[in-house]
Structure 1
Amino acid sequence: MSTPLIPLTLLLILTAVLVESQSIIPIRYDGFVYKKRAASTGTVLIEAFYDPVCPDSRDSWAPLKQAVDYYGTNVVSLIVHTFPLPYHDNAFVTSRALHIVNDLNVSATYHLLDAFFKHQEQFYNAQTLGMSREAVLDQVIGFASSTLGNSFKSAIKSGFNDSKTGTKTRVSFKYGCSRGVYGTPFFFVNGFLVPFNDDDTIDYNGWRKLIDPLITKKQHYPSNIF
């Protein structure tokens, strides 16, 4: 997990973010719903906090997706939240691209996330060190357009000129901070943090071992508990 030691200045920033986030309530729950599977108390709900240019996020994505795909639509649901890490230079702009695309076509969001993870090296700090912010933005727009189809290019470019998409991306980050997220990947299952070692990622079997008992217990859980 990308979780370096947090200096005092960063702790102060996170504290300020938490205070400010108390007054920011979005019109809908944050995050991207996977495959339009409705998230509810009737499913095992997994929430993942990802940075599109984080190698640990990338490595954890395939086994999580495989596990979620294994279960039926009404059994397990997944929501991904963007959490752009400040020490990844292009985390915010790539996260914003996901929010823009999600507004345009929710079916394309995860296609773009897959592409970012597959080709994230081109957006690493070292690879874009000598580039201007405008040049990096053009690269992200071009990448997203070539991934989803050039018909998206104009709309994606317009999205970056819309302050609302920047607000959505900031809200996602502040929401993560309000949940105690400090690195990526971070996972919650049914609202509770999934602990694992910083140097490890949960593989497919690990997710199965975590989810299977919850489904078994759910089958014997009183339906009128609420």
Structure 2
Amino acid sequence: MFRLCLLSLLLAYVSAEQSFYQIHFPRKPWGYRYKAGSQNAPIKIDMFFGLQCEDARDSYPVIKQVADHYGPEVVELNFHIFPLPYFSGDFLSCKGARVVDNLNPELVNDFIEVVFANQYRIGRAPCTVSDLELMELLTDLAVDMGVDRDKFYVQFANPLTTNHCKQKWKSSIADGVYGSPWFLVNGVTVLDWKLDWTADNWITHIDYLINPPPKGEFTTPGIMW
């Protein structure tokens, strides 16, 4: 019993000193906001995705169309890059987006689109392509958009960039995200989302949130009500 008490005290002391499992707190909320969506918008959509995921590539323009339909004062759309471990180059692409956001936040959404357009060169590259070659490709894509090459190199090699992407991935997992693409509406996972959803499917559901039916009626689609 005495040994057990000593062990409990030791564990309590270690826990008080530091937590091995604590995810680092971000200095600002995670994610890349689309078109300066208002933080006071009544509808908040969060999309999590890997940049080498083909399903995410195809659904990305759809969710942007939804945000454009309502405008930034009604829908705040945030993108969260969630690198998938089974896609080559996905974590490197995540780092590339982080670097672009650091150097010129106005370009990050365009960079995401460019990486999606070059999936076949990154995520599907043969195993003979090294991480260094993939990094050079990402650098070239960023430079073509106006990012300074040397600054990109420095930021990409910065351990803080790697750590940010690691902590973001851990935070996403802790929030229950385990696939790509993954959507939250006002903090709730959209379990009914399907690959064939068009902007009209999204709009049908979101309209019920903006103009709910009379109190006591439960005929709305279930995923967001």
Q: TM-score, normalised by structure 1?
A: 0.81
Amino acid paired to 1:196: D
Distance 1:202 1:175, change over 3 A: farther
Distance in 1, Cα, partners of 2:43 & 2:178: 24
1:34 aligns to what?
34
CA spacing shift, 1:205–1:97, aligned 2, 3 Å: same
Contact in 2 for aligned 1:47/1:79 (Cα 8 Å): yes
Is it true that 1:189 corresponds to 2:185 in the alignment? Answer: yes
CA contact (8 A) 1:54 1:184 kept: yes
Deviations along 1:95-143, one digit per CA (max 9) or x if unpaired, are 1111111111111000001111122111123x24111221221121112
Name the CA distance, whole Å, in 1 between partners of 2:106 and 2:120: 24
Are 1:145 and 2:143 matched, yes or no?
yes
The one-letter amino acid of 2:121's match is: Q
TM-score (norm 2): 0.81
| Shift, 1:187, TM fit | 0.2
Q: Answer yes or no: is the 8 Å Cα contact 1:44–1:76 preserved in 2.
A: yes
- Distance in 2 (CA, whole Å) between partners of 1:190 and 1:197 is 15
What SS class does the counterpart of residue 35 from structure 2 fall into? helix
Q: Is the 8 A contact 1:21 1:171 kept in 2?
A: no
**Distance in structure 2 (CA, Å) of the matches to 1:205 and 1:162:** 42
Q: Which amino acid is 1:181 matched to?
A: V
Instruction: Please show how residues 1-226 of structure 1 align to structure 2 within 5 Å.
Output: 22-40=22-40, 42-125=41-124, 127-146=125-144, 148-149=145-146, 151-196=147-192, 200-217=195-212
Deviations 1:127-186 (A, max 9, x none): 24111221221121112212x12x522221111121111111112211110111111000
5+ long unaligned stretches in structure 2: 1-18, 216-225
CA contact (8 A) 1:45 1:78 kept: yes
Larger radius of gyration: 2
CA distance in 1, matches of 2:167, 2:205: 29
Give aligned pairs, total.
196
Partner Cα separation in structure 2 for residue 111 and residue 120 of structure 1: 14
Deviation at 1:67, TM superposition (A): 0.8
Q: Deviations over 1:52-96 (max 9, x none)?
A: 111010011111100101112210001111100000110000011
| Same amino acid, percent of matched pairs | 27
Q: What are structure 1's unaligned runs of at least 5 residues?
A: 1-18, 221-226
Q: Are the equivalent residues in 1 in contact too, given 2:23–2:171 (CA < 8 A)?
A: no
Off by >4 Å, runs of 4+ in structure 1: none
**Distance of 1:28 and 1:216 partners within structure 2:** 31
Q: With a CA cutoff of 8 Å and minimum separation of 6, indicate the structure with the bigger relative contact order.
A: 1
Q: 1:47 to 1:202 in 2, by over 3 A?
A: same
Alpha-carbon RMSD: 2.0
CA distance in 1: counterparts of 2:21 and 2:178, whole angstroms: 15
1:164 to 1:131, Cα distance in 2 relative to 1, 3 A: same
How far apart are residue 20 of structure 1 and its match? 5.3
